[in-house]
Amino acid sequence: MNIVASPLAEFPPPVASVWSTRTAHRRTLAVGVIGPGRVGSALLDQLRAAQPRLERDMGLVLNLCGVVASRRMWLDCDDPELNARQHRAQTWRPNDLDEFAAHIRGNEGRHALLVDCSASEEVTARYPDWLAAGIHVVTPNKLGGSGPLERWHAIRAASVDSGARFRCEATVCAGLPVVQTLRDLLDTGDELIDIEGMFSGTLAWLCNRYDGCRPFSALLREARALGYTEPDPRADLSGIDVARKLVILAREAGLPLSLADVEVASLVPSALAELPLEDCMQQLHELDAPMSAKLAEAQVGSGVLRHVGRLDRDGRASVRLVVLPATHAFAHARLTDNVVQFRTRRYRDNPLLVQGPGAGPEVTAAGVFADLLRIAESLEVRP
């Protein structure tokens, strides 16, 4: 074990509250956070700030019992006084996901929940076992919802059998209520016609700004400098991330889609596809002619270019750049906003829209936190 600096040291201990003494409805949830990176750290901050209010107003105690990163982990049993300390010291031991999950679960039948804020296959592969063991799982990691269909079925089956919940709202448009909106529509008996959306904030920003005055490659460089793109902007231009979101929504809607079923029109020219990142950044001008042709096509009909993911009730899914009329709802999205439009039997002529910032650690962590609270609200009181 070693001692290193960590913001965890300021996590407050559960406080004895009015709720704890006056009511029998006090519930405690043991929480383990996997991946204290950008989203995970923001979540730890939000949990820390909300704890006294949740305990006071809801009788809910969120007991942070462990944090695990790619190589090391902290368990509260190693350092029982940690929460009371303020000097930022932290005791860590080597990463062991199985030991971590067993510790969060405990032996006394307590309510336990793991939050996976990594992007790790190794972590995702364990969801079925964790759920089968009765541990709730919440995540912004898209690999569970959009990975192999077999694993998705195993996740669902384990959840149904054990009663442990799996929630992944933040995988689609971060903190925006997209997955929950779809669930609410379907669970209340509505019928899906289609979902269309601008699911990539990066491509929304690029399409909003691209008017032909500057080459597309110059805008892409600017977006990268502003931190709007992935370090390798081909990850955004390929459309795969949007395809993953469609797969997640499709499966939520009961359609057994896989990534290979989504028709994706990548914006990465073949000349750039295989280049090392540095060479690709030198050759970005390869994008300019094809993008200029697409813009000209849009301008002929006074339309706009938008990057749109579409899923219909028959499971047809596509991701591509399309020309839309200037009056379309997607033509007025701002900056890096995501917009998702649900057409259903009830919302056929006037579709239901969800719009707002769809990325960033704070809003993503808030989406994860909201999932955690939905599960916490449904917990029965246990001693």
The residues binding ligand NAP (CB under 6 A) are: 34-40, 68-71, 95, 117-120, 122-123, 140-142, 170, 174, 359-361, 364
What does the alpha-carbon distance between residue 295 and residue 323 come to, in Å, rounded to a whole number?
9
In terms of CB distance, is 36 or 303 closer to ligand NAP?
36
Closest CB 19 distance from ligand NAP, rounded Å: 32
Please choose, from the candidates 217, 224, 263, the residue with its C-alpha nearest in 3D space to the C-alpha of residue 242. 263
Terminal alpha carbon distance of the chain: 33
Closest CB 253 distance from ligand NAP, rounded Å: 20
Question: Is the Cβ–Cβ distance between 133 and 100 less than 8 Å?
Answer: no
Residues 6+ apart with CB under 8 A from 172: 178, 179, 199, 245, 248, 249, 340
Question: Is the Cβ–Cβ distance between 352 and 181 less than 8 Å?
Answer: yes
What does the alpha-carbon distance between residue 277 and residue 4 come to, in Å, rounded to a whole number?
34
Beta bridge partners of 310: 196, 318
Closest CB 367 distance from ligand NAP, rounded Å: 8
Closest CB 290 distance from ligand NAP, rounded Å: 28
Closest CB 340 distance from ligand NAP, rounded Å: 14
Structure tokens at 307: 């990057």
Alpha helices, DSSP H only, in the chain? 18-22, 38-58, 97-105, 121-124, 127-132, 143-146, 149-162, 179-187, 201-209, 216-225, 234-237, 240-252, 270-273, 277-282, 288-300, 361-377
In terms of CB distance, is 83 or 95 closer to ligand NAP?
95
Residue nearest to ligand NAP (CB): 37
> Pairing state of beta strands 2-5 and 27-34?
unpaired
Active site residue 245: yes
Closest CB 174 distance from ligand NAP, rounded Å: 5
In terms of CB distance, is 147 or 303 closer to ligand NAP?
147
> Pairing state of beta strands 136-138 and 111-116?
parallel
Q: Looking at this protein, which amino acid is placed at residue 194?
A: D
* Candidates 103, 136, 245, 310; catalytic one: 245
In terms of CB distance, is 28 or 238 closer to ligand NAP?
238
H helix or E strand, kind and range, residue 192: strand 192-198
- Residue 106 is classified by DSSP as -
In terms of CB distance, is 4 or 49 closer to ligand NAP?
4
In terms of CB distance, is 96 or 194 closer to ligand NAP?
96
Question: Is the Cβ–Cβ distance between 101 and 340 less than 8 Å?
Answer: no
In terms of CB distance, is 35 or 309 closer to ligand NAP?
35
Q: Count of residues for the chain?
A: 383
Closest CB 201 distance from ligand NAP, rounded Å: 9
Question: Is the Cβ–Cβ distance between 120 and 114 less than 8 Å?
Answer: no
Question: Is the Cβ–Cβ distance between 379 and 372 less than 8 Å?
Answer: no
In terms of CB distance, is 28 or 364 closer to ligand NAP?
364
Closest CB 148 distance from ligand NAP, rounded Å: 17
Catalytic positions, written as ranges: 245
